[in-house]
Amino acid sequence: MNQSPSIYVVAAERSGDLLGAGLIKALKAQTGGEGVFHGVGGEAMAEEGVDSAVDISGLSILGFFDGLKAFKRVKARVAETVADILKHRPDAVVLIDSWGFMLRVAQGVRAADPSIKLIKYVGPQVFATRRGRAKTLAAAVDHLMTILSFDAPYYAPHGLPVTFVGNPTLDRMQPGDGTGFRACHGIGEDEETVLVLFGSRKSEIDRMSADFTRTIRRLRAQRGVRPVIVTAGSVATHLASVSAQFADEFGAVIVSEEEKADAFSAADVALACSGTVVTELATAGVPTVTGYKLGWLTWAIIRGFNIMKAPFISLVNIAADEMLVPEFVQTRVRAGLMAQAVADLLDDPAGREALSARLVETTAQMRGRGEASDRAAATVLDVIAL
């Protein structure tokens, strides 16, 4: 096998950037530092020495109509990404998550140079919606590396090779110092603490912040909970006004991502926008209530055409086939309902402890054998060697 492979990694949002950084680090180790890396990504990939060839701000998009509004911007970024890939002529391109953007990049590269190996890292959630995407992906790339153990059967009929590498997000979660966090931030030992996480996209923050604010206001009136907010990545600035309001009105503790593990360990319960962070919370054993809103027109299409097939929106619930994380979606995103769900968890310490164990057990099964980034790197090198 070529010991100096050239690999191009593309990530369009924060979660993908973290996956890309872990993959690049593992590839460096497995190639003895001889690999050549280029890419499109964010801060995490830059820390691994891969400066982004394209500005990824504004590419974290969810929903049909949000996509339409950003179409020109996305189209321009796709063209820039494809052009940079063709300039470097890598052995392989790894396209991380972000279905619409990555599909267009794959199609552009394939049309221009079919010799470049194309590897999708994290498949579209065809088990939940739009199963036809499995066939579309099979026609666009050479290999899929999936973080979900139950993905492969959806792609097998279309001849796409699939490798389950596990979820690197779960490998990253390390135990935090909850006691030290409480002491550092003046949180009493017996003070009820609710971690509030608004989402990793600006649109999620805009849609969820008012409902989460009303939820915490209700809880504060009933029992004086202490909110904790973790700000992270590219949305930290967008969260500034919400965080300031929480600090002024509720005495919330506001911390950066560097204290995330400690904040998780200190929390009694979390109130979180559905997404990767719910899986991270489950890995840390934090009982969580989650909510999510799409744009109303997108929601109407999903409901009208019965697009959503999975019974749950959270991967933890899907993996467990059980509602371990209470979900409040669209019309059920209401302060009264969510506050009651949080209160029910706070009122039942024994139930919280049992739930915490179930969450840890479920995410351990989702993790697989661990070392997911190492297995992803080995898969990339195997595909190049074919």
In a domain, 279, yes or no: yes
- Give me the mean pLDDT over the 198-221 stretch: 91
* Burial tier of 57 (Cβ tally within 10 Å: 0-12, 13-18, 19+): middle
For residue 149, give every residue at least 6 positions away whose Cβ sits within 8 Å of its Cβ, in sequence order, or none: 164, 365, 366, 368
The confidence score (pLDDT) of residue 60 equals 59
User: Could you read off the pLDDT of 20-78 as tens digits, one per residue?
Assistant: 999 999 999 999 999 999 999 999 999 999 999 998 886 755 554 455 556 788 899 99
Number of Cβ within a 10 Å radius of residue 164: 19
The tokens for 71 are 């179409």
Q: How many domains does the chain have?
A: 2
Q: Are residues 197 and 148 part of one domain?
A: no
Q: At what angle do helices 335-346 and 349-367 cross, to 10 degrees?
A: 100
Stated as kind and residue range, the H or E segment containing 228 is strand 226-231
The confidence score (pLDDT) of residue 58 equals 67
The confidence score (pLDDT) of residue 64 equals 46
User: Could you read off the pLDDT of 75-116 as tens digits, one per residue?
Assistant: 999 999 999 999 999 999 999 998 999 999 999 999 999 999
Q: Are residues 190 and 143 part of one domain?
A: no
Rounded to whole angstroms, the Cα distance separating 142 from 161 reads 7
Predicted TM-score (pTM) of the model is: 0.75
Rounded to whole angstroms, the Cα distance separating 193 from 191 reads 6
Rounded to whole angstroms, the Cα distance separating 198 from 63 reads 17
Q: Are residues 37 and 184 part of one domain?
A: no
- Give me the mean pLDDT over the 194-206 stretch: 88
The tokens for 108 are 């552009």
Is the predicted pLDDT of residue 146 greater than 70, yes or no? yes
For residue 228, give every residue at least 6 positions away whose Cβ sits within 8 Å of its Cβ, in sequence order, or none: 185, 187, 193, 194, 195, 196, 252, 253, 254, 255, 263, 266, 267
* Burial tier of 61 (Cβ tally within 10 Å: 0-12, 13-18, 19+): buried
User: Could you read off the pLDDT of 244-267 as tens digits, one per residue?
Assistant: 999 999 999 999 989 999 999 999
User: Could you read off the pLDDT of 289-323 as tens digits, one per residue?
Assistant: 999 998 777 777 767 666 667 788 898 999 898 99
In a domain, 198, yes or no: yes
The tokens for 67 are 């996509």
Q: Are residues 358 and 249 part of one domain?
A: yes
The confidence score (pLDDT) of residue 72 equals 84
Q: Are residues 317 and 249 part of one domain?
A: yes
Residue 256 is given by DSSP the state E
In a domain, 1, yes or no: no
Q: Are residues 70 and 115 part of one domain?
A: yes
In a domain, 121, yes or no: yes
Q: Are residues 41 and 76 part of one domain?
A: yes
Q: Are residues 177 and 140 part of one domain?
A: no
Of 108, 160, 124, nearest to 139 by C-alpha is: 160
CB 316 within 8 A of CB 362: yes
Q: Are residues 42 and 52 part of one domain?
A: yes
Give me the percent of the chain exceeding a pLDDT of 90: 70
The confidence score (pLDDT) of residue 1 equals 46
CB 52 within 8 A of CB 40: yes
Higher pLDDT: 174 or 273? It is: 273
Burial 6-17 (b: 16+ CB within 10 A, else e): bbbbbbbbbbbb
Q: Are residues 274 and 310 part of one domain?
A: yes
Euclidean distance between the first and the last CA atom of the chain, given in angstroms as a whole number: 9
Q: Are residues 160 and 51 part of one domain?
A: yes
- How sure is the predictor about 123, in pLDDT bands with cuts at 50, 70 and 90? very high
Of 24, 25, 17, 57, nearest to 38 by C-alpha is: 24
Is the predicted pLDDT of residue 366 greater than 50, yes or no? yes
Rounded to whole angstroms, the Cα distance separating 145 from 152 reads 10
Task: Show the domain range for 333.
Answer: 173-366
User: Residue for token digits 């982004």?
Assistant: 52
CATH of the domain at 45: 3.40.50.2000
Q: Are residues 375 and 360 part of one domain?
A: no
In a domain, 220, yes or no: yes
Range with lowest mean pLDDT among 12-21, 66-75, 327-336? 66-75
